[in-house]
Amino acid sequence: MGKMYEVTIVGMGRVGSAIANALLLLSKGIHVNCIEPYRPNWKHALGEIYDLLPVAVATGNEFTWDNRVPSNSSIYVITSGKPRQSPKETKENLYWTNMPIVEKIMKDIPKDVPVFIVTNPPNIIAQTLRGNSPLCPRWHAYPLRAVTDDVRAAGATAICMDGKELNNETLRRKGFTQYTPGFACAQYILREIEFQQKATCYEDVAVMMRWNNGRNKAPVRRKDGLKDRKNR
């Protein structure tokens, strides 16, 4: 992947660990940093870490974990908060429960890096974090809901359901969703990394073009081996 990107996942519950697992499996040369900031969840989080560690070693990716949110990651993924466990749970109730949790986490995150919101309800939480000004957002927060819906809808056709029906049946029988959002979110994050790499590459090309234009020509080597700087 060229430059090693550090993806920090905050919240090591079922979905957070599923995203970490999918990132490790789908990518080569990535740094997955798993964070669980809440002490009551540390025992379960450490179990997830121990389960993920062999995957990281086998795939050759860098893998770290901590209980503090770092301030220098390339990308952040927020999964902390109460999951949606029943089709009857409303977005409003989940929002008022989870928004304070997410806002506390965001205090440690720079305002100029991408932050992907998986915590329910992601669309409303991301909009709150961005604020009302599209030109000057509070944070560059993006919901990862539609990508999960798209993957789920595609899979549901295999058993003659739509995506919403499949999700409701999963919640009714299992009590949570895990693998579908894990895969869908990881796939989208890797696309974002690829986009960032291309943008960086184009920026480097533009810099070189400016360098070689007019008075900013790079020094050339003469036939006698000396650098000639009089070509400006």
For residue 3, name the pLDDT band (cuts at 50, 70, 90). low
pLDDT of residue 124: 94
pLDDT in tens, 110-157: 988 999 999 999 999 999 999 877 777 888 999 998 899 999 999 999
Q: What are the CB-based long-range contacts (under 8 Å, 24+) for 85-93?
A: 85/171, 85/175, 85/176, 86/171, 86/172, 86/175, 87/167, 87/168, 87/171, 87/172, 91/120, 91/121, 91/124
Which position has the higher pLDDT, 124 or 220? 124
Largest separation between any pair of C-alpha atoms in the chain = 80
Residue 224 CB neighbours (<10 A): 6
Domains defined for the chain, CATH in brackets:
5-228 (3.40.50.720)
As a whole number, the mean pLDDT across the chain is 85
pTM for the model stands at: 0.81
Question: Contact 87/174 with Cβ under 8 angstroms?
Answer: no
CA 57 to chain centre: 21
Among 144-148, 184-188, 210-214, the least confident range: 210-214
The pLDDT of residue 83 is 86
Looking at residue 2, its pLDDT comes to 54
The backbone torsions φ and ψ at residue 62, rounded to the nearest 5 degrees and listed phi first, read: -80, 140
